[in-house]
Chain A
Amino acid sequence: MLDNQKISVRQFRILVILFTIGTSILIVPATLAFEAKQDAWIAAILGVGMGLLVILLYNKLGLMFPDMTFVQMNQKILGKWLGKMASLLFFSLSFTYASALLFYTGNFFITEIMPETPLGSLVILMGIIMVMAVRYGLETFARSAEIFFLLFFFLFITLVFSLTPEIEVENIQPVFEVEFKPLLRGSIFLVVTSTVNAVVLLMIFPANVNQQMEAQKSFLIGSLIGGLVMIIITLLGIFVLGPYYSATEVYPGYDLTKEINLGDFVTRIDAIMAGMWMITIYFKLILYFYASVLGFTQILEIKDYRPFTLPLGMIAIVLSVIVYPNVVYQQEWDTKTANAYSLTVGLFLPLLLLGVAVFRKKMDQKKHT
Protein backbone atom coordinates (compact mmCIF):
# COMPACT_ATOMS: atom_id res chain seq x y z
CA MET A 1 0.00 0.00 0.00
CA LEU A 2 1.96 2.96 1.27
CA ASP A 3 5.21 1.05 1.10
CA ASN A 4 5.05 1.04 -2.67
CA GLN A 5 5.26 4.78 -3.11
CA LYS A 6 8.00 5.59 -5.60
CA ILE A 7 9.54 8.91 -6.46
CA SER A 8 11.53 9.74 -9.57
CA VAL A 9 15.26 10.34 -9.63
CA ARG A 10 14.71 14.03 -10.33
CA GLN A 11 12.46 14.40 -7.29
CA PHE A 12 14.98 12.59 -5.15
CA ARG A 13 17.73 14.92 -6.34
CA ILE A 14 15.65 17.95 -5.42
CA LEU A 15 14.94 16.52 -1.98
CA VAL A 16 18.68 15.94 -1.47
CA ILE A 17 19.48 19.52 -2.50
CA LEU A 18 16.83 21.00 -0.22
CA PHE A 19 17.97 18.79 2.67
CA THR A 20 21.63 19.72 2.21
CA ILE A 21 20.86 23.42 2.21
CA GLY A 22 18.23 23.11 4.95
CA THR A 23 19.10 24.93 8.13
CA SER A 24 22.75 25.14 7.12
CA ILE A 25 22.10 28.17 4.97
CA LEU A 26 21.00 30.13 8.02
CA ILE A 27 23.37 29.01 10.76
CA VAL A 28 26.50 27.53 9.19
CA PRO A 29 28.05 30.76 7.77
CA ALA A 30 28.20 32.17 11.32
CA THR A 31 30.03 29.14 12.70
CA LEU A 32 32.38 28.96 9.74
CA ALA A 33 33.25 32.66 10.03
CA PHE A 34 33.71 32.30 13.78
CA GLU A 35 36.16 29.41 13.38
CA ALA A 36 38.00 30.32 10.21
CA LYS A 37 37.50 34.13 9.96
CA GLN A 38 37.97 35.41 6.39
CA ASP A 39 38.94 31.90 5.25
CA ALA A 40 35.49 30.51 6.03
CA TRP A 41 34.97 29.73 2.36
CA ILE A 42 37.94 27.33 2.46
CA ALA A 43 36.29 25.53 5.37
CA ALA A 44 33.09 25.38 3.33
CA ILE A 45 34.85 23.83 0.33
CA LEU A 46 36.62 21.32 2.57
CA GLY A 47 33.31 20.48 4.24
CA VAL A 48 31.54 19.87 0.94
CA GLY A 49 34.41 17.61 -0.16
CA MET A 50 34.18 15.53 3.00
CA GLY A 51 30.42 15.41 2.60
CA LEU A 52 30.74 13.75 -0.80
CA LEU A 53 32.77 10.96 0.79
CA VAL A 54 29.96 10.37 3.30
CA ILE A 55 27.45 10.19 0.43
CA LEU A 56 29.65 7.58 -1.29
CA LEU A 57 29.37 5.48 1.87
CA TYR A 58 25.55 5.79 1.85
CA ASN A 59 25.43 4.85 -1.83
CA LYS A 60 27.53 1.78 -1.23
CA LEU A 61 25.38 0.68 1.70
CA GLY A 62 22.12 1.48 -0.09
CA LEU A 63 22.96 -0.53 -3.18
CA MET A 64 23.83 -3.63 -1.17
CA PHE A 65 20.22 -3.76 0.02
CA PRO A 66 18.26 -2.13 -2.78
CA ASP A 67 14.76 -2.83 -1.49
CA MET A 68 15.20 -1.92 2.17
CA THR A 69 15.01 1.21 4.26
CA PHE A 70 17.72 2.01 6.79
CA VAL A 71 15.70 0.54 9.68
CA GLN A 72 15.14 -2.70 7.81
CA MET A 73 18.85 -2.88 6.96
CA ASN A 74 19.66 -2.56 10.65
CA GLN A 75 17.47 -5.52 11.50
CA LYS A 76 18.71 -7.60 8.59
CA ILE A 77 22.40 -7.01 9.23
CA LEU A 78 22.66 -6.77 13.00
CA GLY A 79 20.02 -9.31 13.92
CA LYS A 80 16.71 -8.73 15.63
CA TRP A 81 17.51 -7.18 19.00
CA LEU A 82 20.75 -5.37 18.25
CA GLY A 83 19.17 -4.12 15.04
CA LYS A 84 16.14 -2.85 16.95
CA MET A 85 18.39 -0.98 19.35
CA ALA A 86 20.30 0.63 16.48
CA SER A 87 17.00 1.53 14.83
CA LEU A 88 15.75 3.04 18.07
CA LEU A 89 18.84 5.23 18.19
CA PHE A 90 18.15 6.25 14.60
CA PHE A 91 14.51 7.00 15.43
CA SER A 92 15.54 9.12 18.42
CA LEU A 93 17.90 11.11 16.21
CA SER A 94 15.40 11.90 13.49
CA PHE A 95 12.62 12.61 15.97
CA THR A 96 14.60 14.92 18.25
CA TYR A 97 16.04 16.73 15.25
CA ALA A 98 12.54 17.24 13.89
CA SER A 99 11.65 18.93 17.19
CA ALA A 100 14.86 20.93 17.15
CA LEU A 101 14.08 22.16 13.64
CA LEU A 102 10.58 23.15 14.70
CA PHE A 103 12.23 25.22 17.39
CA TYR A 104 14.62 26.72 14.84
CA THR A 105 11.82 27.95 12.60
CA GLY A 106 9.98 29.48 15.54
CA ASN A 107 13.15 31.03 16.87
CA PHE A 108 14.04 32.46 13.47
CA PHE A 109 10.70 34.26 13.27
CA ILE A 110 10.99 35.54 16.82
CA THR A 111 14.52 36.87 16.37
CA GLU A 112 14.12 38.45 12.97
CA ILE A 113 10.53 39.16 12.02
CA MET A 114 7.90 38.79 14.77
CA PRO A 115 9.57 39.43 18.13
CA GLU A 116 6.40 39.57 20.21
CA THR A 117 4.71 36.38 19.05
CA PRO A 118 5.00 33.51 21.53
CA LEU A 119 7.16 30.60 20.39
CA GLY A 120 4.36 28.08 20.93
CA SER A 121 2.00 29.49 18.34
CA LEU A 122 4.65 29.66 15.61
CA VAL A 123 5.77 26.12 16.37
CA ILE A 124 2.20 24.79 16.31
CA LEU A 125 1.56 26.35 12.88
CA MET A 126 4.74 24.83 11.48
CA GLY A 127 3.97 21.51 13.18
CA ILE A 128 0.53 21.31 11.58
CA ILE A 129 1.86 21.68 8.03
CA MET A 130 4.64 19.21 8.86
CA VAL A 131 2.14 16.55 9.93
CA MET A 132 -0.03 17.35 6.92
CA ALA A 133 2.82 16.77 4.47
CA VAL A 134 3.82 13.45 6.00
CA ARG A 135 0.20 12.26 6.12
CA TYR A 136 -0.15 12.95 2.40
CA GLY A 137 2.86 10.75 1.83
CA LEU A 138 6.22 10.71 0.13
CA GLU A 139 4.99 11.07 -3.46
CA THR A 140 2.95 14.14 -2.64
CA PHE A 141 5.61 16.09 -0.83
CA ALA A 142 8.24 15.11 -3.37
CA ARG A 143 6.04 16.61 -6.08
CA SER A 144 5.50 19.78 -4.08
CA ALA A 145 9.26 19.98 -3.58
CA GLU A 146 9.63 20.22 -7.34
CA ILE A 147 7.40 23.29 -7.44
CA PHE A 148 8.94 24.99 -4.42
CA PHE A 149 12.43 24.28 -5.68
CA LEU A 150 11.84 26.59 -8.65
CA LEU A 151 10.80 29.37 -6.29
CA PHE A 152 13.83 28.73 -4.11
CA PHE A 153 16.17 28.85 -7.06
CA PHE A 154 14.61 32.06 -8.35
CA LEU A 155 15.04 33.75 -4.96
CA PHE A 156 18.60 32.48 -4.62
CA ILE A 157 19.65 33.78 -8.04
CA THR A 158 18.02 37.14 -7.24
CA LEU A 159 19.95 37.27 -3.98
CA VAL A 160 23.29 36.50 -5.62
CA PHE A 161 22.86 38.98 -8.47
CA SER A 162 21.52 41.83 -6.38
CA LEU A 163 24.40 41.44 -3.92
CA THR A 164 27.14 41.48 -6.54
CA PRO A 165 27.45 45.30 -6.49
CA GLU A 166 27.96 45.24 -2.70
CA ILE A 167 30.97 42.92 -2.81
CA GLU A 168 34.14 44.28 -1.24
CA VAL A 169 37.04 42.10 -2.24
CA GLU A 170 39.35 43.39 0.51
CA ASN A 171 37.22 41.55 3.08
CA ILE A 172 38.57 38.20 2.01
CA GLN A 173 42.23 39.17 2.45
CA PRO A 174 44.58 37.91 3.79
CA VAL A 175 43.83 34.51 2.28
CA PHE A 176 45.05 31.18 3.79
CA GLU A 177 45.75 32.67 7.21
CA VAL A 178 43.70 30.13 9.13
CA GLU A 179 45.27 27.31 11.12
CA PHE A 180 44.35 23.72 10.49
CA LYS A 181 42.30 22.87 13.56
CA PRO A 182 39.83 25.77 13.47
CA LEU A 183 39.40 25.03 9.77
CA LEU A 184 38.61 21.41 10.56
CA ARG A 185 36.18 22.39 13.35
CA GLY A 186 34.30 24.60 10.90
CA SER A 187 34.14 21.98 8.16
CA ILE A 188 33.06 19.24 10.54
CA PHE A 189 30.18 21.40 11.69
CA LEU A 190 29.14 21.88 8.07
CA VAL A 191 29.47 18.19 7.22
CA VAL A 192 27.43 17.18 10.25
CA THR A 193 24.55 19.59 9.68
CA SER A 194 24.33 19.12 5.91
CA THR A 195 25.51 15.66 5.05
CA VAL A 196 25.87 13.29 7.98
CA ASN A 197 22.27 13.99 8.99
CA ALA A 198 21.31 12.98 5.45
CA VAL A 199 21.34 9.46 6.88
CA VAL A 200 17.57 10.02 7.24
CA LEU A 201 17.42 10.03 3.43
CA LEU A 202 18.36 6.35 3.59
CA MET A 203 14.73 5.82 4.59
CA ILE A 204 13.87 6.86 1.03
CA PHE A 205 16.92 6.22 -1.11
CA PRO A 206 17.25 2.64 -2.15
CA ALA A 207 13.71 1.43 -1.52
CA ASN A 208 11.46 4.22 -2.74
CA VAL A 209 13.31 5.66 -5.73
CA ASN A 210 12.44 4.14 -9.08
CA GLN A 211 15.86 3.90 -10.78
CA GLN A 212 18.47 3.06 -8.20
CA MET A 213 21.61 3.28 -10.31
CA GLU A 214 20.60 6.74 -11.49
CA ALA A 215 19.53 7.67 -7.98
CA GLN A 216 22.96 7.14 -6.49
CA LYS A 217 24.35 9.61 -9.01
CA SER A 218 21.71 12.15 -8.06
CA PHE A 219 22.51 11.63 -4.38
CA LEU A 220 26.04 12.84 -5.17
CA ILE A 221 25.01 15.57 -7.58
CA GLY A 222 22.30 16.86 -5.27
CA SER A 223 24.69 17.02 -2.38
CA LEU A 224 27.23 18.81 -4.57
CA ILE A 225 24.70 21.41 -5.74
CA GLY A 226 23.58 21.99 -2.17
CA GLY A 227 27.21 22.32 -1.16
CA LEU A 228 27.83 24.90 -3.90
CA VAL A 229 24.93 26.98 -2.61
CA MET A 230 26.49 26.81 0.86
CA ILE A 231 29.90 27.89 -0.48
CA ILE A 232 28.34 30.80 -2.36
CA ILE A 233 26.39 31.99 0.70
CA THR A 234 29.50 31.75 2.91
CA LEU A 235 31.55 33.67 0.35
CA LEU A 236 28.88 36.35 0.03
CA GLY A 237 28.73 36.64 3.80
CA ILE A 238 32.43 37.41 3.99
CA PHE A 239 32.47 39.61 0.91
CA VAL A 240 29.48 41.71 1.89
CA LEU A 241 29.24 41.63 5.69
CA GLY A 242 32.89 40.95 6.45
CA PRO A 243 34.20 38.12 8.63
CA TYR A 244 33.48 39.92 11.89
CA TYR A 245 29.76 40.55 11.27
CA SER A 246 29.31 37.13 9.71
CA ALA A 247 30.59 35.58 12.91
CA THR A 248 28.64 37.68 15.41
CA GLU A 249 25.21 37.66 13.77
CA VAL A 250 22.93 34.75 14.65
CA TYR A 251 21.64 34.40 11.09
CA PRO A 252 24.19 36.00 8.72
CA GLY A 253 22.44 34.42 5.74
CA TYR A 254 19.38 36.48 6.59
CA ASP A 255 21.33 39.66 7.33
CA LEU A 256 22.76 39.41 3.84
CA THR A 257 19.33 40.01 2.33
CA LYS A 258 18.97 43.24 4.31
CA GLU A 259 21.97 44.58 2.39
CA ILE A 260 20.18 44.35 -0.94
CA ASN A 261 19.91 47.80 -2.47
CA LEU A 262 19.14 48.21 -6.14
CA GLY A 263 19.40 51.88 -7.09
CA ASP A 264 17.96 53.02 -3.74
CA PHE A 265 14.65 51.72 -5.00
CA VAL A 266 14.45 48.01 -4.24
CA THR A 267 15.51 47.80 -0.59
CA ARG A 268 14.66 45.75 2.49
CA ILE A 269 13.15 42.83 0.64
CA ASP A 270 14.36 40.49 3.39
CA ALA A 271 10.86 39.36 4.33
CA ILE A 272 10.34 38.09 0.77
CA MET A 273 13.74 36.48 0.83
CA ALA A 274 12.84 34.73 4.07
CA GLY A 275 10.66 32.53 1.86
CA MET A 276 13.90 30.95 0.68
CA TRP A 277 14.87 29.70 4.15
CA MET A 278 11.31 28.67 4.90
CA ILE A 279 11.30 26.38 1.86
CA THR A 280 14.58 24.62 2.65
CA ILE A 281 13.95 24.32 6.39
CA TYR A 282 10.43 23.06 5.81
CA PHE A 283 11.56 20.23 3.55
CA LYS A 284 14.36 19.28 5.88
CA LEU A 285 11.81 19.20 8.69
CA ILE A 286 9.44 16.98 6.71
CA LEU A 287 12.22 14.57 5.81
CA TYR A 288 13.25 14.22 9.45
CA PHE A 289 9.68 13.68 10.56
CA TYR A 290 8.92 11.27 7.73
CA ALA A 291 12.02 9.23 8.59
CA SER A 292 11.11 9.13 12.26
CA VAL A 293 7.48 8.12 11.76
CA LEU A 294 8.34 5.50 9.14
CA GLY A 295 11.21 4.24 11.29
CA PHE A 296 8.92 4.04 14.31
CA THR A 297 6.37 1.88 12.52
CA GLN A 298 9.01 -0.34 10.96
CA ILE A 299 10.60 -0.97 14.35
CA LEU A 300 7.20 -2.12 15.63
CA GLU A 301 6.56 -3.94 12.34
CA ILE A 302 3.35 -2.07 11.61
CA LYS A 303 2.37 -1.63 7.97
CA ASP A 304 0.76 1.81 7.76
CA TYR A 305 2.49 4.76 9.36
CA ARG A 306 -0.27 7.29 8.82
CA PRO A 307 -2.34 6.83 12.01
CA PHE A 308 0.71 7.75 14.10
CA THR A 309 1.60 11.02 12.41
CA LEU A 310 -0.84 13.08 14.48
CA PRO A 311 0.11 11.86 17.99
CA LEU A 312 3.83 11.86 17.16
CA GLY A 313 3.48 15.34 15.70
CA MET A 314 1.85 16.46 18.94
CA ILE A 315 4.78 15.10 20.96
CA ALA A 316 7.29 16.72 18.58
CA ILE A 317 5.60 20.10 19.01
CA VAL A 318 5.70 19.84 22.80
CA LEU A 319 9.35 18.75 22.75
CA SER A 320 10.31 21.64 20.48
CA VAL A 321 9.13 24.10 23.11
CA ILE A 322 11.14 22.55 25.93
CA VAL A 323 14.33 21.14 24.39
CA TYR A 324 16.29 24.37 24.33
CA PRO A 325 15.72 26.23 27.61
CA ASN A 326 18.07 29.09 26.63
CA VAL A 327 20.53 30.23 23.99
CA VAL A 328 23.64 29.15 25.91
CA TYR A 329 22.27 25.63 26.28
CA GLN A 330 21.41 25.59 22.58
CA GLN A 331 24.90 26.63 21.47
CA GLU A 332 26.56 24.18 23.82
CA TRP A 333 24.31 21.35 22.65
CA ASP A 334 24.60 22.18 18.96
CA THR A 335 28.37 22.43 18.91
CA LYS A 336 29.19 19.58 21.30
CA THR A 337 26.55 16.91 21.70
CA ALA A 338 24.94 17.21 18.28
CA ASN A 339 28.27 16.49 16.55
CA ALA A 340 28.87 13.32 18.53
CA TYR A 341 25.23 12.23 18.22
CA SER A 342 25.03 12.75 14.46
CA LEU A 343 28.41 11.19 13.78
CA THR A 344 27.46 8.10 15.79
CA VAL A 345 24.18 7.53 13.97
CA GLY A 346 25.10 8.96 10.58
CA LEU A 347 28.68 7.82 10.12
CA PHE A 348 29.77 5.11 12.57
CA LEU A 349 26.55 3.10 12.37
CA PRO A 350 26.51 2.95 8.53
CA LEU A 351 30.22 2.12 8.56
CA LEU A 352 29.55 -0.73 10.99
CA LEU A 353 26.63 -1.97 8.87
CA LEU A 354 28.71 -1.87 5.71
CA GLY A 355 31.59 -3.67 7.45
CA VAL A 356 29.39 -6.46 8.77
CA ALA A 357 27.53 -6.83 5.48
CA VAL A 358 30.73 -7.07 3.41
CA PHE A 359 32.22 -9.54 5.90
CA ARG A 360 29.12 -11.74 5.74
CA LYS A 361 29.12 -11.72 1.97
CA LYS A 362 32.74 -12.86 1.93
CA MET A 363 31.95 -15.66 4.37
CA ASP A 364 29.03 -16.80 2.23
CA GLN A 365 31.19 -16.90 -0.87
CA LYS A 366 33.76 -19.01 0.95
CA LYS A 367 31.08 -21.47 2.00
CA HIS A 368 29.85 -21.89 -1.55
CA THR A 369 33.23 -22.46 -3.15
Chain B
Amino acid sequence: MWVITGILLVAILIIIIEVPALWKERQKKELWVFSLLLLIGVGLSIAVGLDANIPNPFDWIALLFKPLSDFMMWLLK
Protein backbone atom coordinates (compact mmCIF):
# COMPACT_ATOMS: atom_id res chain seq x y z
CA MET B 1 0.00 0.00 0.00
CA TRP B 2 2.79 2.43 0.94
CA VAL B 3 4.55 1.61 -2.30
CA ILE B 4 1.54 2.61 -4.37
CA THR B 5 0.99 5.81 -2.41
CA GLY B 6 4.65 6.76 -2.80
CA ILE B 7 4.67 6.13 -6.52
CA LEU B 8 1.46 8.09 -7.03
CA LEU B 9 2.96 10.99 -5.06
CA VAL B 10 6.01 10.95 -7.32
CA ALA B 11 3.75 10.89 -10.38
CA ILE B 12 1.78 13.89 -9.07
CA LEU B 13 5.05 15.72 -8.44
CA ILE B 14 6.16 15.06 -12.02
CA ILE B 15 2.82 16.32 -13.33
CA ILE B 16 3.08 19.50 -11.23
CA ILE B 17 6.59 20.14 -12.61
CA GLU B 18 5.91 19.52 -16.29
CA VAL B 19 2.26 19.90 -17.21
CA PRO B 20 1.51 23.62 -16.55
CA ALA B 21 4.08 24.79 -19.10
CA LEU B 22 2.86 22.34 -21.73
CA TRP B 23 -0.77 23.23 -21.01
CA LYS B 24 -0.12 26.94 -21.40
CA GLU B 25 1.32 26.49 -24.86
CA ARG B 26 -1.40 24.04 -25.93
CA GLN B 27 1.09 21.44 -27.08
CA LYS B 28 -1.30 18.56 -27.68
CA LYS B 29 1.14 16.02 -29.09
CA GLU B 30 3.59 16.62 -26.27
CA LEU B 31 0.85 16.24 -23.68
CA TRP B 32 -0.30 12.93 -25.16
CA VAL B 33 3.19 11.47 -25.33
CA PHE B 34 3.96 12.73 -21.84
CA SER B 35 0.84 11.16 -20.33
CA LEU B 36 1.43 7.87 -22.09
CA LEU B 37 5.02 7.68 -20.83
CA LEU B 38 4.01 8.62 -17.31
CA LEU B 39 1.26 5.99 -17.36
CA ILE B 40 3.75 3.32 -18.43
CA GLY B 41 6.20 4.49 -15.78
CA VAL B 42 3.61 4.44 -12.99
CA GLY B 43 2.21 1.07 -14.12
CA LEU B 44 5.64 -0.56 -14.24
CA SER B 45 6.71 0.92 -10.91
CA ILE B 46 3.59 -0.31 -9.14
CA ALA B 47 4.00 -3.76 -10.71
CA VAL B 48 7.60 -3.94 -9.50
CA GLY B 49 6.59 -2.59 -6.09
CA LEU B 50 4.05 -5.39 -5.74
CA ASP B 51 6.57 -8.02 -6.94
CA ALA B 52 4.47 -8.84 -9.97
CA ASN B 53 6.06 -10.63 -12.91
CA ILE B 54 7.04 -8.18 -15.62
CA PRO B 55 8.24 -9.31 -19.04
CA ASN B 56 11.93 -8.49 -19.32
CA PRO B 57 12.82 -6.46 -22.44
CA PHE B 58 16.31 -7.95 -22.36
CA ASP B 59 14.74 -11.34 -23.14
CA TRP B 60 13.21 -9.91 -26.32
CA ILE B 61 16.49 -8.33 -27.40
CA ALA B 62 18.30 -11.61 -26.72
CA LEU B 63 15.72 -13.45 -28.86
CA LEU B 64 15.97 -10.88 -31.67
CA PHE B 65 19.76 -11.02 -31.84
CA LYS B 66 20.17 -14.72 -31.17
CA PRO B 67 21.08 -15.68 -34.78
CA LEU B 68 23.79 -13.02 -34.97
CA SER B 69 25.19 -13.68 -31.49
CA ASP B 70 25.27 -17.44 -32.13
CA PHE B 71 27.09 -16.80 -35.39
CA MET B 72 29.63 -14.60 -33.63
CA MET B 73 30.19 -17.16 -30.90
CA TRP B 74 30.72 -19.82 -33.55
CA LEU B 75 33.12 -17.60 -35.45
CA LEU B 76 35.24 -16.88 -32.40
CA LYS B 77 35.18 -20.32 -30.80
Contact = CB atoms under 8 A, between A and B. Distances in A.
The yes or no verdict on A and B being binding partners is yes
Interface of A: 92, 96, 181, 184-185, 188, 300, 302, 304, 307-308, 310-312, 314-315, 317-319, 321-325, 333, 336-337, 339-341, 343-344
A322 B59 CA distance: 11
A312 B72 CA distance: 33
B26 interface: no
B1 interface: no
B70 to A, nearest CB: 8
A336 B76 contact: no
Contacts of A323: 56-58
Interface residues of B, number: 32
A302 to B, nearest CB: 6
A340 B48 contact: no
Given A310-B14, A314-B14, A337 B61 contact: yes
Given A311-B34, A337-B69, A325 B56 contact: yes
A318 B76 contact: no
A362 B35 CA distance: 45
Given A92-B61, A318-B44, A322-B54, A339 B72 contact: yes
Nearest to B55: A322
Contacts of B69: 336-337, 339-340
A311 B68 contact: no
Interface of B: 10, 14, 17-18, 21-22, 29-30, 33-34, 37-38, 40-42, 44-45, 48, 54, 56-58, 61-62, 65-66, 68-69, 72-73, 76-77
B50 to A, nearest CB: 12
8 contacts: A96-B57, A300-B29, A310-B17, A311-B41, A315-B44, A319-B57, A336-B69, A344-B68
A333 B18 CA distance: 36
A23 B70 CA distance: 25
Contacts of A304: 30
